[in-house]
Amino acid sequence: MAEPIRVVVTGAAGQIAYSLLYQIASGAVFGPQQPVFLHLLDIAPMMGVLEGVVMELADCALPLLAGVLPTANPEEAFKDVAAAFLVGAMPRKEGMERKDLLAANVRIFKEQGQALDKVARKDVKVLVVGNPANTNALICSKYAPSIPKENFTAMTRLDQNRAQSQLAAKIGVPVKDVKRVIIWGNHSSTQFPDASNAVAIVGGAQKSVSEIINDDAYLKGAFVTTVQKRGAAVIAARKMSSALSAAKAASDHMRDWFLGTEDRWVSMGVVSDGSYGTPRDVVYSFPVTVTNGKWKIVEGLTISDFARQMLDATGKELVEEKQEALDVCKD
């Protein structure tokens, strides 16, 4: 067995963590040979609930779970961690705008960035799930200058999984047979789910999804809006936000970042280098491949006029969010 790695989950007494912790501790993220020592961070009033989660983790009798540390102290939580799932954030209630969330969350992610900078491993891989995820990741990175910028990512894998699932259902194939669906931009309702490069295996042969579906109005219309608004649809139905699917997507994102993607494309919110004419220095979702723990943006894709408008709109929102967040930081 390998030495255990330390993994922190914030918002550890919450809904998403309740699904996520089992996935991490069971080996679904870091592999079946890699023991994990879980650090569980939440706010002081949640420590009683968290104690119940700790009991349940013990009761799972998981062979890969080397230990559990519940805490309300960020410096204790982030000490020597190799991976961080930043799930805890001010939650969005029905009818609430993301902008209302920004101010509250900037303060949380500033504090966590400072703690990571001080006590985490310098090669820590940080995944921000708590919304607004892209801007939270940017702020977190800004306050952790000793950790490379490329080690801070935001989750758009849930959007990718949603998009892939929609296309598979539309075509009538298993979800594993749909590939190269891309999420561009912000994890918000301006995101651009892009099927123009997607392929599917139909009758043993790989074909372009655009050709199979052959309905441009759907791919630019209902497909895009369904994925953009799926989170709100789940809230309306469940009266709570996506938790099971969000935890699964966080697992997928971190597993692919640690263990690699081979030839698969995955969507990750990463600090933009200006690729595809996107604004620099915002956390923007791109298609990436991962080798040896390093992500690389997929190059050379053709951007149609429609896609250009969509990329620019979500980029504009990210630039505005970044500015609002930086203004809050000054307060």
| pLDDT score of 90 | 80
> Residue 327: its pLDDT value, please?
86
Tell which phi-psi region holds residue 66, choosing left (phi > 0), alpha (psi between -120 and 50) or beta: alpha
* Residues 244-267, mean pLDDT to the nearest whole number: 97
Q: Could you give the CA distance from residue 312 to residue 203 in angstroms, rounded to a whole number? A: 37
Class in CATH terms, 5-154: alpha beta
CA gap 125, 121 in Å, rounded:
9
97 has a pLDDT exceeding 70: no
pLDDT (average), residues 57-68: 98
pLDDT grade, residue 329 (50/70/90)? confident
User: Residues 20-57: pLDDT tens digits?
Assistant: 999 999 999 999 999 999 999 999 999 999 999 999 99
User: Is the model's pLDDT at 115 over the cut of 80?
Assistant: yes
pLDDT at 243: 94
Q: What is the structure's pLDDT at 154? A: 98
User: Does 194 have pLDDT greater than 70?
Assistant: yes
Strand partners, 207: 200
Instruction: Give pLDDT tens digits for 139-164.
Output: 999 999 999 999 999 999 999 999 99
pLDDT at 293: 98
Q: Are β-strands 205-208 and 65-71 bridged in parallel, bridged antiparallel, or unpaired?
A: unpaired
Q: Write out the binding residues.
A: 42, 92, 98, 105, 129-131, 162
| Cβ contact 128:135 at 8 Å | no
Among 204, 86, 192, 90, CA closest to 144: 86
The residues carrying an active-site annotation are 187
- Whether 200 has a pLDDT exceeding 80, the answer reads yes
Q: Quote the pLDDT of residue 93.
A: 66
User: Which pLDDT score is estimated for 101?
Assistant: 74
- CA–CA gap between residue 61 and residue 274 (Å, rounded): 47
Q: What is the residue extent of each domain of the chain?
A: 5-154, 157-321
pTM assigned to the model: 0.96
User: pLDDT over 90 for what percent of the chain?
Assistant: 91
Indicate the annotated binding residues for substrate: 92, 98, 131, 162
**pLDDT per residue as tens digits for the range 298-319:** 999 999 999 999 999 999 999 9
Give yes or no for a contact between 200 and 172, defined as CB atoms under 8 angstroms apart.
no
Binding-site residues from annotation for NAD(+): 42, 105, 129-131
Residue 156 and residue 266: Cα distance in Å, rounded? 9
Topology adopted by domain 157-321: L-2-Hydroxyisocaproate Dehydrogenase; Chain A, domain 2 (3.90.110)
The answer, yes or no, to whether residue 96 has pLDDT greater than 70, is: no
